[in-house]
Every structure is written in C-alpha cells, then in structure tokens.
Chain A
C-alpha cells in the first residue's frame, strides 16, 4: 500500500485565491511526522510546513496551513492568497521514526499552476 497518496496530479488556481492540495497517509505508528515541500522548476525542494502526529493544533507558516485530520489520515496543504511564484510541484511526505528511522516517504506530487 502507498504510504502517501496525492490524488491531484495537477491543480489550477486564480491569483489571490486560496487552494487546497490533498494528501492522505497510511501508517500504523503512533508517532509520525508529516511534511510538505515545494519544488519549483529550478529543482530545489523547499521545506514549507510540518505537522506532528501528537500536535493538537493545525500547523501554520505564513500563507501555508495544514488541515490535519488524524482520524481520516489526511494532511492537506492550504495556500492562501496564491501568488504567481507559488506555481510549482508540491510533495507531501511522512516520517515514521520508530519503524523506518530516517526514511521519508513521498507522495507522487501535485503540480500547481497559478493563473494571473
């Protein structure tokens, strides 16, 4: 089974609008971390936001927030007030420190295009 599932290969959003990128995960560990990365066409993977399995509040970092629904095993990324520079691939990732240590599991990614 896939550890991380991103079901939206491509998304479009109007500039200044909000957009939600979906991510569901599969783990039997109690302790895990969820991460979102942005990868522009230049190639660098940029860390955006982190959510821990024990965190009771949804993570926020500037225009990025994470809609964490533990019972549904979902960790959707919300980008508010989209900008043209937000056009990129977005990857959701998970770490299970107890069972797989350093290893990150990545989803297949969502390509976001912001339309002026």
Chain B
C-alpha cells in the first residue's frame, strides 16, 4: 500500500486566519516532505523531516510552520498567509532506510488546494 493521505482537499482562508494542513502515511516511512506547487510548475521543496526531525528548511517564511508529531503524521501550520501563498500543497514520504540509497522513491498525497483571500 503506497498511500499518503492529506486533509483537507481544499482550503480557503483569509490573511488573518490560522489553519493547519495534515498529512498521514502508514507505510513505515521515516522521511516526510512538504512541497508547494504553483499551476503548471514543478513542486518546490519546503521542508523535510527525517526520523521526526526537521532536516531541510528551504528558507520558507515563518508564516509556514511544520510539525511532525510522530513518524506517521506531518502537519503544516499556516498563519497570516499572503495571496501569493495560494497553491497546491503536496505531502510526500519515503522509506529513508540504510539500503534505499538512490532508489528511495517519494510517494505523494493528493494535495491540498489552498486559496488565500
């Protein structure tokens, strides 16, 4: 089973709201990722968690705050967003094992379409 789930599917929020995106996987993967994707562009990496610790933060503004409560869950807390933050937010996970090497595949969730008004 290569399923990554994300909630909600769609989110509309004002610039003063606080909301959270959730991501869950039950594949025993130990690396989880947040990406932001604008229309007709490739995904842009935001954060990487490896063994529940933040390992990569790609200079993302502090209005985005990731959290990894356990190895299966990944949250993205949103606060005081701007209209330009409207995008598809994708979560992914990968095995992160000692034998995975270059073969380690990222599996993506269906994404959350975020609109900031």
Q: Which of A52, A107, A108 contacts B102 (CB 8 A)?
A: A52
| A97 contacts across to B, CB distance below 8 A | 101-102, 104
Interchain CB contact under 8 A, A109 and B40: yes
Complex Cα gap A101–B102 (Å): 9
Q: Assess whether B90 is interfacial by the CB under 8 Å rule.
A: yes
Q: 1/0 per position for A80-116, CB-CB distance to B under 8 A?
A: 0000000001010001110001111011110100000
Complex Cα gap A106–B103 (Å): 16
Q: 1/0 per position for B82-117, CB-CB distance to A under 8 A?
A: 000000101010101000011111111111010000
CB-based A-B contact count at 8 angstroms: 69
Q: Which of B42, B56, B88, B110 contacts A103 (CB 8 A)?
A: B56
Complex Cα gap A66–B64 (Å): 37
Q: Which residue among B45, B96, B101 has the maximum number of chain A CB atoms within 10 Å of its CB?
A: B101
- Given A102-B31, A108-B41: A33 and B111 interface contact (C-beta under 8 Å): no
CB of A97, distance to nearest CB on chain B (Å): 5
Q: Assess whether B23 is interfacial by the CB under 8 Å rule.
A: no
| B50 contacts across to A, CB distance below 8 A | 102
Listed A/B pairs (7) with beta-carbon separation below 8 Å: A33-B101, A43-B111, A43-B113, A52-B102, A91-B43, A102-B31, A103-B48
